[in-house]
A and B are shown apart, each in its own frame.
Chain A
Amino acid sequence: MNAWLGETPKYLVPNPTPEDREFWAGARRGELRIQRCTTCGEHQHYARMLCSHCGAQTLEWVTASGLGTVYSFTVIRQNGVPPFDERVPFVVASVDLDEHGARVLAAMPGVEPGAVAVGMRVRATFRPASEEFGFVDFEPV
């Protein structure tokens, strides 16, 4: 876990766009912010101008429960880019949030590689990236 703390290298600090600043700022506050479409009711992550499910422009920000299910995952054992070279091996997972329609790809920093499985229930945790922005990670429930 220690290799995940400490100062974030400049090239990893989020550089948000006007449309997704809320996600990165929310993660700094400890909230998983995603979009919900008021036309079709589906959710989406990452933030976009249009709903990727129905095409409507009727999107609102909501705070997700942070709970979800691992759709799939891998264990990264080789990554030459610092600081990942110090972190290997580590788990990256695709998580289907309980809020239907939204999938989040994120690291699972504290987890033993062998402890993760497809279908596992997980919850979001938050890690500062800078004064303004943060990262969303997941851990087993």
Chain B
Amino acid sequence: MSRTGAGVRPDTRVSYRPPLVTRRNVCVVGVGLSDGPVTPDMTGLMLEAQAFRRALDDAGLAPRDVDGLASAGYGGMHEVMLAEYLGLRPRWLESTSCGGSSFEFHTLHAFRAIEAGDADTIAVVYGNNQLSASGRTLGTGGGGGRGFAMPLPMAYEFPTGLTLVGAYAMAAQRHMHEYGTTPEQLASIAVQMREHAARNPSAMYRDPITVDDVLSSKLVADPLHKLDCCVISDGGCAIVLTTEDRARDLPHRPVYVRGAAGATTHHSIQGMADMTTTAAASSGPKAFAEAGIVPADVDMFAMYDSFTYTVLVVLEDLGFAPKGEGGAFVADGNLRLGGALPTNTDGGGLSATHPGMRGLFLLCEATRQLRGEAGDSQVAGAEIAVAHGSGGWLSTQGTVVLATEPR
């Protein structure tokens, strides 16, 4: 097989080492969602502020308790602007901006900062009014660089007419070629997410769909149909992390961050040497090793379902299914409530909400499940959940293991 870069495969060496000094346990103590999924009268900052306030209220904390802030937007210094807008003077700041998985990276870095004593209480915040501001064009040219000088390596992709959807489609096509994965199997992912959305009053689309509905929806970029693609919505989300000691005095059952890792293999899709394996093959085993779990221990999975293929390839990379057998795994209905791995119990990006980037919403839903607050969508007895974000064009992968008990 041809290679296009030095880092031709995800780095799968599990390099986690136990700490040399005592570390503090870290918990998610507050989560908040803004109004959504359609908010034409709100800006992105308004959505962020609303979600931030709700997460603080949920945590029983005040803005003055927050000494660290993490956020990512589509421009530079977003987290600094947000700090000023919220009236915060954080002494710890984080702005990793690696696409939709940014918020798993933020949580990883917040986890490390709190366990090491660099900060005590950190808010991770995101919001965007992408639907109301830009319409539904992202992914089919609208998010491209029309009128701008494109930086490397995009200077080579944009003139071909490749779209964001097309980049994912190309990867899916290769998986189909190597492993016989079928459009029906990919479609079954969208069907199961829609089943979950039917239970979520805030989901963008709630009417049941079938595999045939997915396959008869418009082809956007072969082999991906419209219903293989996530929705575009408005929305904001925030989570608050703090120490176990502080969490004991707060209203909710603490949800522990047990392990986290992030990795990348490429930026543009032409740099993805093996389109059937992502950097989740690196981040997953590393985070699982730190958390002391194996895939079979996971009760609930919050997965960045930008496209049906994103779910399928990452399921394999995290070890929930052997490489090449993700198609059979999803077609067996394992992702639905009551299945072996209930996934995106809120309906996911495919049906519920996707305001440009979705990574933070995964951590919110996983936390609600571990607290037992998911109502009709509750996974009975959920003790271990995994939130996994994918950013760019399968470029960046971040895994966070959450649990009801500490390590």
Whether A102 is near chain B, meaning CB under 8 Å from some CB there, is yes
Whether B203 is near chain A, meaning CB under 8 Å from some CB there, is no
Pairwise interchain contact A55-B269, C-beta atoms closer than 8 A? no
Pairwise interchain contact B6-A54, C-beta atoms closer than 8 A? yes
Choose from A55, A76, A94 the contact partner of B163 (Cβ within 8 Å): A76
Whether B159 is near chain A, meaning CB under 8 Å from some CB there, is yes
Closest to B168 in A: A74
Choose from A42, A46, A76, A85 the contact partner of B221 (Cβ within 8 Å): A76
Choose from B144, B145, B161 the contact partner of A107 (Cβ within 8 Å): B161
Whether B174 is near chain A, meaning CB under 8 Å from some CB there, is yes
Whether A105 is near chain B, meaning CB under 8 Å from some CB there, is yes
Pairwise interchain contact A78-B161, C-beta atoms closer than 8 A? no
CB proximity to B under 8 Å, residues A63-113:
71-81, 84-85, 87, 90, 92, 94, 96-97, 100-107, 113
What 0/1 pattern do residues 183 to 224 of B give for CB contact below 8 A with A? 000000000000000000000000000000000001111110
Whether A57 is near chain B, meaning CB under 8 Å from some CB there, is no
Q: Which A residues lie within 8 Å of B275 (CB)?
A: 71-72, 94
Whether A53 is near chain B, meaning CB under 8 Å from some CB there, is yes
Question: How far, in angstroms, from A81 to B42 measured CA to CA in the complex?
Answer: 27
Question: How far, in angstroms, from A75 to B275 measured CA to CA in the complex?
Answer: 17
Choose from A54, A79, A94 the contact partner of B269 (Cβ within 8 Å): A94
CB proximity to A under 8 Å, residues B304-322:
none
Q: Which B residues lie within 8 Å of A45 (CB)?
A: 4
Q: Which B residues lie within 8 Å of A102 (CB)?
A: 2, 4
Closest to B272 in A: A94
Pairwise interchain contact A113-B163, C-beta atoms closer than 8 A? no
Q: Which residue, of B1, B161, B162, B171, has the highest number of chain A Cβ atoms within 10 A?
A: B161
Question: How far, in angstroms, from A54 to B259 measured CA to CA in the complex?
Answer: 32
Whether B173 is near chain A, meaning CB under 8 Å from some CB there, is yes
CB proximity to A under 8 Å, residues B114-156:
137, 140-142, 144-149, 152-153, 155-156
CB proximity to A under 8 Å, residues B158-185:
158-163, 165-166, 169-171, 173-174, 177
Whether A20 is near chain B, meaning CB under 8 Å from some CB there, is yes
- Asked, given contacts A72-B170, A76-B166, whether A12 binds B158 with beta carbons under 8 Å apart, the answer is yes
Whether B3 is near chain A, meaning CB under 8 Å from some CB there, is yes
- Asked, given contacts A81-B141, A104-B270, whether A75 binds B2 with beta carbons under 8 Å apart, the answer is no
Pairwise interchain contact B4-A103, C-beta atoms closer than 8 A? yes
Q: Which A residues lie within 8 Å of B2 (CB)?
A: 71, 96-97, 100-103
Pairwise interchain contact A79-B146, C-beta atoms closer than 8 A? no
Closest to B139 in A: A78
- Asked, given contacts A52-B6, A53-B5, whether A77 binds B174 with beta carbons under 8 Å apart, the answer is no
- Asked, given contacts A17-B152, A80-B137, whether A103 binds B219 with beta carbons under 8 Å apart, the answer is no
Pairwise interchain contact A79-B174, C-beta atoms closer than 8 A? no
- Asked, given contacts A14-B159, A94-B269, whether A79 binds B170 with beta carbons under 8 Å apart, the answer is no
Closest to B136 in A: A80
- Asked, given contacts A53-B3, A53-B6, whether A74 binds B166 with beta carbons under 8 Å apart, the answer is yes
Closest to A53 in B: B6
Pairwise interchain contact B165-A78, C-beta atoms closer than 8 A? yes
The B interface is mostly helix, strand or loop, or mixed, namely: loop
- Asked, given contacts A11-B147, A92-B162, A118-B174, whether A74 binds B270 with beta carbons under 8 Å apart, the answer is no
- Asked, given contacts A54-B6, A80-B140, A80-B142, whether A72 binds B221 with beta carbons under 8 Å apart, the answer is no
Whether B325 is near chain A, meaning CB under 8 Å from some CB there, is no
Q: Which residue, of B169, B223, B275, has the highest number of chain A Cβ atoms within 10 A?
A: B169
What 0/1 pattern do residues 115 to 141 of A give for CB contact below 8 A with B? 000110000000001000001000000
Q: Which residue, of B4, B5, B149, B221, has the highest number of chain A Cβ atoms within 10 A?
A: B4
What 0/1 pattern do residues 237 to 274 of B give for CB contact below 8 A with A? 00000000000000000000000000000001110010
| Shortest Cβ distance from residue B85 to the other chain A in the assembled complex, whole angstroms | 32
6 A-B pairs with the lowest CB-CB distances in the bound complex, closest first = A96-B2, A81-B141, A72-B174, A105-B270, A74-B169, A75-B222
New A-B contacts (16) at CB < 8 Å, excluding given A71-B2, A80-B141: A11-B148, A15-B149, A42-B3, A46-B152, A51-B6, A72-B173, A77-B218, A78-B141, A78-B163, A78-B220, A79-B163, A85-B141, A92-B161, A103-B273, A105-B269, A106-B160
Q: A-contacting residues of B (Cβ < 8 Å)?
A: 1-6, 137, 140-142, 144-149, 152-153, 155-163, 165-166, 169-171, 173-174, 177, 218-223, 268-270, 273, 275
Q: B-contacting residues of A (Cβ < 8 Å)?
A: 11-12, 14-15, 17, 20, 42, 44-46, 51-55, 71-81, 84-85, 87, 90, 92, 94, 96-97, 100-107, 113, 118-119, 129, 135
11 contacts between A and B (CB under 8 A): A11-B147, A11-B148, A46-B153, A52-B6, A72-B174, A74-B222, A74-B223, A79-B163, A104-B270, A105-B157, A118-B177
